[in-house]
Amino acid sequence: MGLKLHLVRHPRPSVEPGWCYGATDVPVSDDELLATSDALAQAGLPGPLPVFASPLQRCARLAERLQPASLHLDARLAEMHFGRWEMRPWSDVPRAEVDAWAADLLCYRPGGGECVLDVARRVAQFVADLRQQGLPEALVVCHAGTIRLLMAMRNGLSLERAALAAASEPHHVGFNQVMVLTL
């Protein structure tokens, strides 16, 4: 039997639209956090389940509100680190660097940070550890990039192909969105 994951993307952070914030620990307003946790509670998330979350406050604070007794913060769930692109408007990132990333989605290190394959490796190790624990089901509060990787990994693709699929296929994961995935 597969591992069932309830994936929740964090609430909208307190950062201007159009800014690259990746692994930066940007806050979420208290009002946004309360509205999100109330909406998710009404949506009927299953519980109690073990809860795993990125340690970045936009995820950790929501996970703590949802099911604090079973919360495990795991850095492998953090969003991709964009190096010197972090906390810059996307419009300020040199076009040549964006083009270089587009030419090598798998191994290029945007802003000197992580490449998609690095992120995929840590997310895959997280999943392997969950499987080793024998958990049938868990709640995971994380980021759009992490969710895209988990979704791409579900079909048994090689790590490289899953990472490339997650990076290249258009897929919008909205703030507060819940997706159920069986691996």
Q: How many CA atoms lie within 13 A of 111 on its CB side?
A: 19
The reported pLDDT for the residue numbered 41 is: 83
Name the token pair of 68: 């604090």
Over the stretch 137-179, which tens digit does the pLDDT of each residue have? 999 999 999 999 999 998 888 999 999 999 987 778 999 999 9
**Residue 1: per-residue pLDDT:** 64
Enter the tokens of residue 72. 């495990």
Given a cut of 90, whether residue 2 has pLDDT beyond it is: no
pLDDT digits (tens, 9 = 90+) for 50-103: 999 999 999 999 999 988 888 999 999 999 999 999 999 999 999 999 999 999
pLDDT of residue 156: 86
pLDDT at 47: 76
Position 102: which residue type?
A
Domains contained in the chain, CATH given: 4-182 (3.40.50.1240)
137-142 and 51-53 strand pairing: parallel
Query: Beta 4-9 vs 137-142: how paired, if at all?
Result: parallel
pLDDT surpassing 90 at residue 115:
yes
Residues 5 and 170: beta-carbon distance below 8 Å: no
Token output for 133: 């624990």
